[in-house]
Amino acid sequence: MTAEIIKQALDRVAIQTTLNMEYFVDTFPSASTIHNQYQKVKNEDWVEGFWTGILWMMFEYQQLPVYREMAQSHVISFIDRMDRNIVLDHHDMGFLYSLSCVASYRLTGDEAAKDVALRAADKLIARWHENPGFIQAWGAKNDPQEHRFIIDSLLNLPLLYWANDETGIGEYRDIADRHYQICLTYLIRDNGSSYHTYYVDPITHVPSHGLTRQGFSDDSSWARGQAWSIYGIALGYKHYPHAETMSQFMAVTDYFLEKLPDDQVAYWDLIFTDGSDQPRDSSAAAIAVCGMLEMLPHITDANYKKKIVSAVDAIMLSLIKNYSNKQPVKGHALLNEGVYSWHDKFGIEEGNIWGDYFYVEALMRLNNPSWKPYW
């Protein structure tokens, strides 16, 4: 990996992003492409923040007002979505509001963006169950069938830590800390693999069993979920810097790396390897890289740090060479060969907008190690 390779990749991202701005105008990308083409959708899914986050990163990279102006127009859309409570009864407030409105406030000082991001944090803690202490992922809070937390939720906790920093209200941090700990206690298996979801008995309030929603089976490890665990533990570590937390980061990262095929980009579930004829999930690779880069400054073991640097280089070189889009076309993804939902037969071997986002974030981190992400 060289500075020139990274710059060339970011320059291609800028070209494709500019074309996509012309394509989407005041709409948003669908979660996944269909025949390699994003559909134009309204701001009402869990993924819209990723497109806005890409715009903010491109503004930071190139300092062109056009990126900032479109990103700021998205803030208005996110305020309207909050005002009208459009599909916000779920835990993905961080995916939506950290990358759009927290980013806007940090980069421009937009007080309206700050206010709506704090409202999003309030939405998130409204899903809190005091006993045994978790944020419910999906469904109505009083629905016993939805009494569960999931590995993806670790990426939504930075919104609460940010809200604590901005307001001084300790409840945000207390909830984030407790949810972080219950996820690490129950979602990470002894061998370092991860469950996707974990259920809590609604009567006894005891965490009871882990199941999958996106992975191949209940006892396999969904690649994107494993990547969420790598990045989620790393993001939480700066707020919860304990030795056992670092040990869990190393366990989930080692499990992910040990399951990689020859080209270093994971199949969609880590139960599969070379010769399986299963699709890859390039987004899992990009997410894992971001997690490893996030934790890198905190790793004191010189040999393990060297291992992480080597893994990041190998994965990113493969993503750039083999999976990134090199033929700019309006409405196309930045990163190809992702998987949204294998069981639903949707978004398989297609680009997806979170894969695009984390690919760009990884490049931004490598281009400038002092760059500050929006989480």
pLDDT digits (tens, 9 = 90+) for 126-136: 999 999 999 99
Can you give the pLDDT at residue 14?
98
- Burial-class residue 50 by CB neighbours within 10 Å (0-12, 13-18, 19+): buried
For 165-184, write each residue's pLDDT tens digit: 999 999 999 999 999 999 99
Residues sharing a CB contact under 8 Å with residue 122, sequence separation 6 or more, in sequence order: none
- Token digits of residue 79: 């305020």
Say whether pLDDT at 1 is over 90. no
Closest CA to 51 of 24, 76, 33, 85: 24
For 235-279, write each residue's pLDDT tens digit: 999 998 999 999 999 999 999 999 999 999 999 999 999 999 999
Instruction: Report the greatest alpha carbon distance in the chain.
Output: 58
- Name the residues annotated as catalytic: 92, 152
**Mean pLDDT across the chain:** 97
**pTM above the 0.85 mark?**
yes
Percentage, residues of the chain above pLDDT 90: 99
Say whether pLDDT at 53 is over 90. yes
For 179-202, write each residue's pLDDT tens digit: 999 999 999 999 999 999 999 999
- Residue 142's pLDDT band (cuts 50, 70, 90): confident
- Residue 5's pLDDT band (cuts 50, 70, 90): very high
Are 101 and 117 contacting, i.e. CB atoms less than 8 angstroms apart?
yes
Say whether pLDDT at 160 is over 90. yes
Alpha helices per DSSP H over the chain: 3-24, 48-62, 65-83, 93-97, 103-108, 111-125, 157-167, 170-186, 223-237, 243-258, 282-295, 302-318, 353-367
For 62-113, write each residue's pLDDT tens digit: 999 999 999 999 999 999 999 999 999 999 999 999 999 999 999 999 999 9
- Burial-class residue 2 by CB neighbours within 10 Å (0-12, 13-18, 19+): exposed
Strands 128-129 and 338-341, bridge-based pairing: unpaired
Closest CA to 91 of 222, 220, 232: 232
Q: CA 185, CA 192: separation in Å to the nearest integer?
A: 11
Closest CA to 82 of 47, 41, 121, 110: 121
Q: CA 357, CA 50: separation in Å to the nearest integer?
A: 6
Mean pLDDT of 47-64: 98
Can you give the pLDDT at residue 147?
97
CA 92 to chain centre: 10
